[in-house]
A and B are shown apart, each in its own frame.
Chain A
Amino acid sequence: MELPEDLKYSKEHEWVAVDGARARVGITDYAQDALGDIVYVQLPTVGNTVEAMSTCAEVESTKSVSDIYAPISGTIVAVNDALSGAPELVNQEPYGSGWIFDIDLSDATQLDALLDAAAYRALVESG
């Protein structure tokens, strides 16, 4: 299981790459492996505001539809349109070309509630 040290993680298996007041979000290697082959990604709408822990995207794999949650509150400022034609990028490069959306943070203190790599690893290894 690949787990970059420089990212933050949610208990719902999203990763967050913070860059100032903006963050990039995707799902973790553990999550993509548990989902299996992803065949569709329902992306959020640019400009929408989302609350932490609210559903903001969906993925389908093996006829199973799963919610993707916003790990932090903010405004969606970009989505990965490449996933519309190539949803398998989430499986192939979950931390790279398989990113899902960018968000402008409305409350940076929420980042403190996210996990570091070690804590996330402990979470998934504990089942």
Chain B
Amino acid sequence: MGAPEWRLIDDVETTDLAVDHMRTDVEMLERVAAGDHPALRLYTWPMPTLSLGRFQDAADVDEVACARLGVRITRRPTGGAALLHGADLTYSLAMRLEAGADNGVQPVYDRIAGALIVGLERLGVSAAIARHDRAPGAVCFASQQGADLRVGDRKVCGSAQVRRQGAVLQHGSILLRRLDIDECDLVTAACDRGTLRRATVTLEELGAPIDPRSVASAIVAGFSDWLGASFGPSTLVVQGSDAHR
């Protein structure tokens, strides 16, 4: 049997302010759970958006500050803590958890991390799977877990999962550059900006390309190389709102 053919959804140049990335990701998971091709989606955010984890306390968010700073709020179907999007590239993938593989939470993170690491290597970035360093708080990038990627000791990509009906959706944020604001401006919990900055690193700071198109191409290549994902000429490539059809 050949490598599975993947569906590639390209939302890298999203400009539609009404886009609902979380809904699209959940629909992608549901399609895969129902038997569709595994899927990889890459997207950016047309305006700064703070995403909260599935069970994160809404009181963690300073809604007044978000409104004042023009930051939209959304809730992820996945776990974890608050993450500010807007200067990142987000990947999401959905695939079935096939029998015979070790489908534990960390082993699946590890498999997908391999693809991301190979992709980042193409950009000259030497990343590794992160180590659990402290209890997770209200801000995703303030701590590391085995779901994440680091360069040295600094987190460059934060990821999370949801599993339904024998399939997994994993999505994650690759830091391209910094915005003028960060999560410390947007949460009610104690958040030290200096600590957060020292705990993270962006591709820009690493001297890597930060054009979302270039980074997306490298990540797609990483999945092709590492997971054997087929994105050949017959790959079902859809763009933007076509992903919903």
Contact = CB atoms under 8 A, between A and B. Distances in A.
Q: Contact size class for A?
A: 10 to 19
Interface residues of B, number: 27
Given A65-B55, A67-B164, 16 more contacts: A36-B105, A39-B79, A39-B136, A40-B79, A55-B164, A58-B55, A61-B105, A62-B79, A62-B106, A63-B79, A63-B136, A64-B78, A64-B109, A64-B163, A65-B79, A65-B162
Given A62-B145, A65-B54, A65-B161, A36 B104 contact: yes
| Interface SS majority for chain A | strand
A21 B160 CA distance: 39
Interface string B57-81: 0000000000000000000011110
B147 A127 contact: no
Interface of A: 33-36, 39-40, 42, 55, 58, 60-67, 126-127
B232 interface: no
A24 to B, nearest CB: 24
Contacts of B103: 34
Contacts, number: 69
Contacts of B109: 62, 64
Given A35-B104, A40-B55, A63 B99 contact: no
Contacts of B165: 67
Most buried by B among A36, A58, A60: A60
A76 B102 CA distance: 32
Nearest to A123: B99
Contacts of A64: 78-79, 105, 109, 147, 160-163
9 contacts: A36-B106, A40-B55, A58-B55, A62-B106, A63-B79, A64-B163, A65-B161, A66-B105, A127-B100
A57 to B, nearest CB: 12
